[in-house]
Amino acid sequence: MLAVPQPSPAESRENQTFEALLWALSRPGLVRAMPGLGDADLLAALVDRECLVHAADPLLIPAVLKTGAKVAELTDADHVFAGTLGDLAVLDQLQMGSDLYPDDGATLVVHADLKTGPMLRLTGPGVDGTLDVHIGGLPDGFWQRRAQIMRYPAGFELFLLDDDQVMGIPRSTQVEVL
Amino acid sequence: MSLTTLTKPWEAMSYGFLDGSAKRELRRKTLKSVAVPGCQMPYASREVPMARGWGTGGLQVSLTLVNPKTRVKVIDQGADDSVNAASIRRFIARVAGTPTTMDTLEADLIQSRHRIPEEILREDQILVLQVPNPEPLRPVQPNMSIARQMHADADYGRMWLQLYEQIVRSGRVMQGASYPSLVHGRHVMTPSPIPRWDVPKLNMSKHLTILSAGREKRIFAVPPYTRVEPLVFSDVPYKVEEHGHLTCYRSGTKGFFMNEIPQDDGTSTFEVSDSEWGVKAIRKGAGEPVTTGETWYKNGEMPE
């Protein structure tokens, strides 16, 4: 009998991060705990040298380079780590993919407040009926602009990070600001 | 930056057989496929020590998802003990050190070939379906570039035409397995060759379903609480196999999907297809304490 391979600490962490992300994206609006604080874990789990990454925070660049990914402009990037959003300019430059290849749409990672803030009503796949959540720390008009620029199935995925908490908002989710 | 920071300690084999880059690619594509339910996403589909077409797609997803605590169940046409299921289960346990089970209720991850278990899956369970042919448009459009354009345009007229022709020719829809279904009102997908009996189980289910075709290199998903509607005409309702009244000759359980076993005298007997459900029924009959979950079908009918 062969010895069973043991997961390295890094491998376990990536696996847990992915589990949290998958769970969060398949149940939009529900918060899931990640094994660590945000961006770096997400990078390690998802990004490698096939990716084009844009990071707003220069402190994140060494971690990006370590994965082997290329640092790219916002308009080319498939993974965008925007930190805390100051304005809506990021949204207008994001890759949306196309009807032919919806998977070319970007993954946007943003820091937000998942406990307080304006009340939103989510509907769509993964939401049992409707779900009301509070999301703060995003610029005014974020959700309206998101709805304007996306034409399903083209669009982008949004991961909201609050310390070690993550919430996923896929493009299929409709967000109504209450 | 030095060589030591770029390299990792030597390992005889990566955990879960797939290397880091294969897993990361699958993670990215799995997330995208969850975000666009029913839309086929291309992925690289790495080599695994199994012939393509024998569940390599499902296996790659399972190997990406597992950790040493994930309890894995593998089914082949409903049975836990057929060759394909047994060898995939043993392989996952060997390369990932996962505990295995045959009980649907105990499993965290269920990889399945062409059946969905009869017991209702919970929110924390993930179903991975092996898909031989992910393209529902292939019978009507063999050119996959044009088929992709048709998906982009939501141009599914030929699917309806195909169903119409079957009804005109044979009086009913002849599609037995992999019944084309509309997901989230936008993309038509093949639910993999599960029988018609199983398609309603995907509609607004509590669990996440990931469908992966290794040979064809496509992955797609049905998130929880997502509409999955079989394509039907409003005046010709969707029909599941008429198995509701059949009784399993071994376990005596009634009202579930059955395997037909032809007899020498020309008649047939029937055996419940979900083997673990049959085992539970036999154990229950023998007076053993058995926990059974709630089933999707009740008295041979799917409740509305």
Q: Which CATH class is domain A9-113+141-171?
A: alpha beta
Q: Which CATH class is domain B20-230?
A: alpha beta
Residue A126 has its nearest CB partner, among B148, B152, B225, at: B225
The tens digit of pLDDT for each residue in B187-234 reads 999 999 999 999 999 999 999 999 999 999 999 999 999 999 999 999
Residue A5 has its nearest CB partner, among B13, B28, B39, at: B13
- Interchain pair B35, A6: CB under 8 A: no
pLDDT at B120: 97
The CA distance from B145 to the nearest CA of chain A, in Å, is: 9
- Interchain pair B12, A103: CB under 8 A: no
- Collapsing DSSP to helix, strand or coil, B236 comes out as strand
The residue extents of the domains of chain B are: 20-230, 242-304
Distance CA B39, CA B150 (A): 12
- Collapsing DSSP to helix, strand or coil, B275 comes out as helix
For B190, other C-beta atoms within 10 Å of its C-beta total 25
Interface list for B 259-278 with A (CB within 8 A):
none
Q: Decide if B90 touches A, using CB distance below 8 A.
A: no
pLDDT at B1 over 80: no
Q: Which of A168, A160, A158 is nearest to A30 (CA)?
A: A168
pLDDT at B164: 95
The tens digit of pLDDT for each residue in B102-133 reads 999 999 999 999 999 999 999 999 999 999 99
CA distance readout (Å), A71 to A9, A104, B34, B299: 26, 17, 26, 59
Residue of A nearest to B34 (CA): A26
pLDDT at A2: 67
Residue B37 has its nearest CB partner, among A46, A129, A172, at: A172
Question: Which of chain B's residues have a Cβ under 8 Å away from the Cβ of A66?
Answer: 5
Angle at A171 between CA B124 and CA A110, to 5 degrees: 85
Question: Which of chain A's residues have a Cβ under 8 Å away from the Cβ of B148?
Answer: 100
| pLDDT averaged per 10 residues in sequence order, chain A, 178 residues | 84 96 96 90 93 94 91 95 92 94 96 94 96 95 95 96 95 95
Region for B276 from its dihedrals, namely left if φ exceeds 0, alpha if ψ lies in -120 to 50, beta otherwise:
alpha
Q: Are strands B109-113 and B208-213 parallel, antiparallel or unpaired?
A: unpaired
Across the range B36-41, mean pLDDT stands at 96
Residue B224 has its nearest CB partner, among A19, A26, A51, at: A26
**At B100, is the pLDDT very low, low, confident or very high (cuts 50, 70, 90)?**
very high
Q: Decide if B38 touches A, using CB distance below 8 A.
A: no
The tens digit of pLDDT for each residue in B62-90 reads 999 999 999 999 999 999 999 999 999 99
The ipTM, to two decimals, is 0.96
* Side chain identity, residue B21: S
DSSP letter, residue B121: P
For the residues of B37-83, what is the DSSP string, one character each?
TT--EE------SS-TTSSHHHHHHHHHH--TT--EEEEETTBSSSH
Residue B284: is it exposed, middle or buried by C-beta count within 10 angstroms (0-12/13-18/19+)?
Answer: middle
Across the range B158-177, mean pLDDT stands at 93
Residue of B nearest to A129 (CA): B225
Q: Decide if B22 touches A, using CB distance below 8 A.
A: no
Q: Are strands A79-84 and A157-162 parallel, antiparallel or unpaired?
A: unpaired
pLDDT at A20: 96
Q: How far out from the chain centre does Cα B249 lie?
A: 26
Distance CA B200, CA B120 (A): 12
Q: Decide if A153 touches B, using CB distance below 8 A.
A: yes
The tens digit of pLDDT for each residue in B227-239 reads 999 999 999 999 9
The tens digit of pLDDT for each residue in A92-141 reads 999 999 999 999 999 999 999 999 999 999 999 999 999 999 999 999 99
- Interchain pair A103, B29: CB under 8 A: yes
The tens digit of pLDDT for each residue in B238-290 reads 999 999 999 999 999 999 999 999 999 999 999 999 999 999 999 999 999 99
The CA distance from B242 to the nearest CA of chain A, in Å, is: 31
Sign of CA dihedral A157, A108, A177, A166: positive
Q: Decide if B32 touches A, using CB distance below 8 A.
A: yes
Region for A52 from its dihedrals, namely left if φ exceeds 0, alpha if ψ lies in -120 to 50, beta otherwise:
beta
Q: Decide if A128 touches B, using CB distance below 8 A.
A: yes
